[in-house]
Structure 1
Amino acid sequence: MSIDAFSQYFSVIQDTRQSAKISYPLFDILFLTVCATIAGMEGWEDIEDFGEAHLDWLQDKGLFLQGIPVHDTIARVVSSIEPDQFQDCFLKWMQAVNVHANGALIAIDGKVLRSSYNREDRQSTLHMVSAFATANGVVMGQVKTQDKSNEITAIPELINLLDIKGCLVSIDAMGCQTGIAKQVVEQGGDYLLAVKGNQKSLEKAVQKALAPLVKISPECDIEHGHGRIEAREYYVMPAQKLAIDFPDWQALQTVGVAISYRIDSKGEESLEYRYYISSATLTPERFAEAVRGHWEIENRLHWVLDVTMNEDACQIYRGHAAEILAGVRHMALNMLRLESSKKASIRRKQKMASMNVAYLEQIVLAGIKGLTEI
């Protein structure tokens, strides 16, 4: 396997060490870290052990000709990588291996890395805001913020980095801001924003507009599972009057509501109304698909990172390590998803990759060469 294509995107990251003291090239250590993460390794010692176990394979690629560094060296080198440079490489790589279909849904949401805080300051926990392409389950990009409230500033920064032309960008109520809506439209995309109490006048107006449509319907979607019964209804309508009354919401075309009625295993009932605005002209079917699709960032990204990759349990925090490893986990998950020859769970693919370097190569090649239409 040639790693030239991988090197094309990630070898440009600058090494901050003194050149005379470099025994292990930064690219070698980064490539090892990515491969070890693909194979399910979680900490510095795991990465060192993975490298020792697969040293012959790595040396066949021209890497680690002096052997594998100890885990402290791996930690020190990875922690010194400049996050902005890594982010730039990640984005260019994803733009090269993904082609958006018109109307593709990109969900944006934040996640806390619960064990990433500095042990002297529990307020320093890392918070990542990610953009997730729901059709094939890959991360398009991510930015760091130190506080959930700062998602309002992190979301525009992330959108600015992405190619969203022709895409529908869904964001929860935290991102329901006129500036964010304007930015999405100006970059050639459409927005689908949840509306809650942080936009009180808009929320009341949307509720009032949709009130005549909201009624009990025998055609609602009914789901059974996890010990509960859930029924959902979706309504949309044009937003011409609202667009006049709220001119700051650029290109506003559609308002909608998702209604969910649930009976849990104890017989307790709940009824929830979730309101949305969009710059796209949405049918009820497309609206329902997008609303359901947005929550895939929780089920197919955040849940997998926590349950399969143990992200919340990772206590690495020194330097830039937590942010870089979060990006590496996103890279590994993307590659595992892009490899489609094996119909298996992410965890099973990781185990196969740890035991079989031929399959590991296949996963890496899928991440390098796979042009996947979203």
Structure 2
Amino acid sequence: RRYPLVALVRAAACAVAAGARSYAAVGHWLRRAPQDALTRLGFLIRGPLGVRPAASMSTVRRVAERLHPDGLAALLRPASTERDRRVRLAADGKSARGSRTRTRTAARLLAVIDQDDQVIAQLRIPDKTNEVPCLREVLGLLDIEGAWVSADALHTQRETARFLVEDKKAHYLLTVKLNQPALYARCRRLPWEKATAKYCGRTEGHGRKVLTVSHLDFLYARQVARVIRHRTDKTTGKRTRETVYVITDPPSHQAKPQDISLALRGHWHTKNKIHYVPDTLWDEDRSRNRTGHGPENMATLRNTTPNRLRTTDATNMAEAVRDRPYEPFTAPLDLLGIPR
């Protein structure tokens, strides 16, 4: 009752933007915060001297552990969640390795990231289950009509395809690997030598070639693509080749081979954003947050800074984040759009 919830959430997000990696670091940032920063954050005046006391580390920890993740996401929702910006979405999961205990496995989070590399939704996967039903749950509350949703081979399920096409009026881009042996074999046996639509693209270190055909025995599938990726290890010079099959529901006049290749590249690119950025900038894999909603809420706080930085056209996240601590009590507040 002493501190407004919005002030506590803002303070935690600003502290993380300034480099805080733990509850203790957030509490330390608050102890050092001047009165003008506490005023902007929304802390209240208490006592006859007109002072705005800051919350302690214990208070921040209790809020982070008890606040429902949906509530925190609503308070920190980035601008990219507006409907007109949902063109391409990618879903991927990651483990908060530091949350593992003797009796519980590490918390696993399923995140949805858009074409602007902003995390727009996140869900903690319950114990004793997997990502498949959670993908439908995390997308259920989003307006994704017309968007192209890509996911890993684990989500290549008929119910997922039905949910996206029928319920959400969206399109899917699903990878086929050996976890679906029958479907993989059908893709492999297709008459690729007769396919006329193809696209070749090259980037540094690897290349792609896409061939498309129609009529695959999978729900709503209109095209299947064979992607051949070549990689060269710049250190050893060793070259490797991998063949991946991808199925999608738009017909060829709506999704050309180059569109499929671009979407695939975007999916593999966004996977790095979910894993690489938090681990590099905040050492997320070693975070020891374990209790309550702490793992997913701290992950949301870490995602908030890159989300906001990308709206400023920042391209180097590490450099942009390193700039915040030089003005720890003004720059993070400006980044989050907190009025003066």
* d(CA) in 1 for partners of 2:203, 2:128: 32
- 1:95-114 alignment runs, 5 A limit: 98-101=82-85, 104-114=87-97
Distance in 2, matches of 1:42 and 1:214, equals 52
- Which residues in structure 2 correspond to 1:63-74 (within 5 Å)? 63-65=43-45, 66-74=52-60
> In 2, are the aligned partners of 1:35 and 1:360 still within 8 Å (CA)?
yes
Q: How does 1:1-374 map to 2 (within 5 A)?
A: 22-61=1-40, 62-65=42-45, 66-87=52-73, 89=74, 93-94=77-78, 98-101=82-85, 104-118=87-101, 120-121=102-103, 123-134=104-115, 136-146=116-126, 150-186=130-166, 187-212=168-193, 220-224=200-204, 229-237=205-213, 239-240=214-215, 242=216, 246=217, 249-264=218-233, 265-281=235-251, 282-340=255-313, 343=314, 345-356=316-327, 357-365=329-337
The residue that corresponds to 1:4 in the other structure is none
Q: TM-score, normalised by structure 1?
A: 0.79
Listed one character per residue, the Cα deviations across residues 41-93 of structure 1 (whole Å, up to 9, x for unaligned) are 11112112222332323333241534122212221222121234335x269x3
Report the AA paired with residue 359 of structure 1. A
Distance verdict in 2 for CA 1:63–1:101, change over 3 Å: closer
Residue in 2 aligned with 1:19?
A: none
The offset of 1:355, in angstroms, is 2.6
Count the aligned residue pairs: 325
Alpha-carbon contact 1:339-1:362 (below 8 Å) kept: no
**Distance of 2:259 and 2:129 partners within structure 1:** 30
> Aligned pair in 2 of structure 1 residues 347, 223: CA closer, same or farther (>3 Å)?
closer
Distance 1:296 1:202, change over 3 A: same
Stretches of structure 1 lacking an aligned partner (at least 5 in a row)? 1-21, 369-374
Tell me the residue number matched to 2:48.
Answer: none
| Cα drift, residue 95 of structure 1 | 6.9
Match of 2:49 in 1: none
Q: Is the 8 A contact 2:67 2:293 kept in 1?
A: yes
Secondary structure of 1:295's partner? helix
Q: Which amino acid aligns with 2:94?
A: K
How far is 1:202 from its partner?
Answer: 1.6
- After superposition, the Cα gap between the structure-2 partners of 1:70 and 1:358, relative to the gap in structure 1 and judged at 3 Å, is closer
What is the CA-CA distance between 1:147 and the residue it aligns to? 5.5
Q: Conserved in 1, the CA contact under 8 Å of 2:83 and 2:143?
A: no
* RMSD of equivalent CA atoms: 2.6
Gaps of 5+ in 2: 46-51
Whole-angstrom distance in 2 between the partners of 1:84 and 1:328: 12
Aligned CA distance change for structure 1 residues 158 and 199 (closer, same or farther; 3 Å): same
Letter paired with 1:325: M
How far residue 100 of structure 1 moved from its aligned partner, in angstroms, is 3.0
The separation in 2 between residues aligned to 1:29 and 1:361, in whole angstroms, is: 13
Quote the Cα distance in structure 2 between the aligned partners of 1:302 and 1:352. 22
Q: Report the CA distance shift for 1:344/1:268 in structure 2 as closer, same or farther (over 3 A).
A: closer
Which stretch shifts more, 149-158 or 348-357?
348-357
Shift of 1:298: 2.0
